């Protein structure tokens, strides 16, 4: 059964083709595996390609289609390599976990497999999700399909690159400070960080436990809603999981923002936001205004402290979470003959990369006796003030709109020697994780041929409002239909 893969570019289109009998899941899966292998030499999006497992899942769907009711049944996608999948490598982009295979599935992975989904492979990421460019992976540097000399964003850069290149219909990423939304913006995709607690974190290897969330990367808003319908559910295995049932997000795909009040926080348009980026976002805001929304500029004075607060809290939690990697129970162990203390030290020295070591040291310092009150406790207090800024904003606004990232995708290596500029890549996304609210990036324009992302923010568990506004914008524009020019390896881009 043959078909034109380029004519079916979204998960919902793939689902319709499967349901109509025009194509089999096996044919879809083989076509995507062929495409991703052709692109991988330049793309470097995957750390593990699971041919046999993907084809077996596709065959299960094709043999008994009536057993699966989900619209994503039989539709191939990918997951970030920090989510556990039985029998598959789970490296987190780090040498310290090279070769380790988890004995259990993440809750989100079970949700996908139980619904008849097909997982093509595990995607590349910054080591332990610590980075904004996917250059910190211990194994490879992922490229942006829109320009292979540029980064796809991070840390979920492999997932974003795979979807943008048409090598997967959907992908899962994790977002601790922007790691879904910023790659979505750089790669011209829709990326959603759900409300903290909306999606189970069980089986997600922890970076900063009070900030991490799993969410979808897709080509359009409808696909994001379909993936969220699978992911959003209470999980007794995650003590932070929200106990209330999740709504059907596809019911929020309504082309109407009449009566909505959109807040535009002026602080998000400072700190290095490029003129083209700001112009594209403001044009999107004006379009929604023309569609019936009311727009008001607001101020959130504590947003300016989000970046330093994040880089105290996140490293502090990381230093605690990463203490488990000691060479004793699993993962890498040094071959040096030494006592147990030296073995711990040498294992971690060999296994962790420079960025992870730096964040562990910063976090350990912030939590140490004599400095805890001055740094960690103070950061948590300012975090509370930031949350209050958002609470106040949502008293008068239904949603907020900001740039997703201050710039478009930068060149590989361009910021490697400038950690401050690298961290500024997440200046617009980090406040959202600290507040625990949902944030969605939607493509809203281009600058010099590179995608620009608009960030929509809602109150806690306000994803339905984001879907409605994002869908309304998407129905009035064609940015989500744009595709990168992917020529066969060896040809100029």
- 103 Cβ neighbours under 8 A, 6+ residues apart: 86
Beta-bridge partners for 216: 172
Known catalytic membership, residue 258: no
Q: Which of 24, 133, 137, 155 is the catalytic position?
A: 155
Tally of residues, the chain: 493
The answer to whether residues 420 and 169 touch, using CB atoms and an 8 Å cutoff, is no
In the set 15, 24, 25, 80, the catalytic residue is 80
Choosing from 174, 179, 252, 441, the catalytic residue is: 179
Tokens in use for 453? 């992302």
320 flagged as catalytic: no
* 66 flagged as catalytic: no
Q: Which two tokens stand for residue 477?
A: 């524009």
Cβ contacts of residue 172 below 8 Å, gap of 6+?
A: 77, 78, 79, 80, 83, 108, 159, 214, 215, 216, 217, 227, 231
Dist. CA 472–CA 252, nearest whole Å: 10
Q: What are phi and psi of 129, to 5 degrees?
A: 65, 25
Reading the block at residue 247, the tokens are 């709504």
CB 262 within 8 A of CB 402: no
Q: Where in the sequence numbering do the catalytic residues fall?
A: 80, 155, 179
């Amino acid at each position: 059964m043959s078909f034109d893969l380029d004519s079916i570019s979204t998960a919902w289109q793939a689902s319709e083709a499967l349901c109509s009998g025009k194509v089999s899941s096996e044919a879809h899966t083989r076509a995507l595996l062929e495409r991703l292998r052709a692109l991988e030499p330049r793309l470097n999006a995957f750390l593990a390609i699971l041919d046999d497992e993907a084809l077996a899942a596709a065959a299960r769907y094709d043999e008994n289609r009536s057993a699966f009711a989900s619209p994503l049944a039989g539709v191939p996608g990918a997951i970030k390599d920090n989510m556990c999948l039985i029998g598959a490598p789970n490296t987190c982009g780090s040498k310290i976990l090279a070769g380790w295979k988890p004995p259990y599935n993440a809750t989100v992975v079970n949700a996908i497999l139980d619904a008849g989904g097909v997982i093509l492979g595990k995607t590349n990421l910054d080591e332990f999700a610590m980075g904004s460019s996917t250059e910190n992976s211990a194994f490879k540097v992922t490229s942006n399909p829109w320009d292979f000399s540029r980064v796809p964003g991070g840390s979920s850069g492999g997932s974003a690159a795979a979807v943008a290149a048409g090598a997967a219909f959907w992908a899962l990423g994790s977002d601790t400070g922007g790691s879904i939304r910023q790659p979505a913006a750089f790669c011209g995709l829709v990326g959603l960080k759900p409300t903290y607690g909306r999606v189970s974190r069980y089986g997600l290897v922890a970076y900063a436990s009070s900030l991490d969330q799993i969410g979808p990367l897709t080509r359009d808003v409808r696909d994001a809603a379909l993936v969220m319908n699978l992911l959003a559910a209470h999980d007794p295995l995650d003590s932070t999981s929200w106990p209330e049932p999740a709504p059907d997000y596809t019911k929020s795909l309504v082309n109407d923002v009449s009566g909505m009040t959109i807040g535009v926080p002026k602080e998000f348009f400072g700190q290095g936001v490029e003129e083209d980026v700001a112009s594209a976002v403001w044009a999107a805001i004006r379009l929604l205004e023309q569609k019936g929304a009311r727009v008001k500029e607001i101020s959130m004075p504590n947003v300016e402290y989000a970046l330093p607060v994040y880089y105290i809290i996140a490293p502090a939690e990381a230093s605690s979470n990463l203490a488990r990697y000691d060479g004793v129970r699993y993962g890498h162990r040094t071959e040096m003959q030494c006592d147990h203390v030296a073995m711990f030290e040498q294992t971690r020295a060999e296994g962790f990369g420079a960025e992870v070591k730096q964040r562990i040291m910063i976090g350990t310092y912030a939590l140490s006796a004599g400095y805890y009150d001055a740094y960690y406790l103070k950061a948590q207090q300012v975090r509370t003030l930031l949350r209050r800024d958002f609470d106040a904003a949502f008293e008068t606004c239904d949603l907020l709109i900001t740039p997703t990232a201050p710039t478009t995708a930068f060149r590989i290596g361009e910021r490697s020697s400038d950690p401050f500029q690298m961290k500024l890549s997440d200046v617009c996304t980090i406040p959202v994780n600290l507040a625990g609210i949902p944030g969605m990036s939607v493509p809203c324009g281009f600058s010099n041929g590179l995608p620009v992302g608009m960030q929509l923010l809602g109150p806690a568990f306000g994803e339905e409002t984001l879907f409605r506004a994002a869908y309304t914008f998407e129905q009035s524009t064609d940015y989500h239909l744009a595709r990168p020019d992917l020529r066969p390896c060896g040809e100029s881009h």
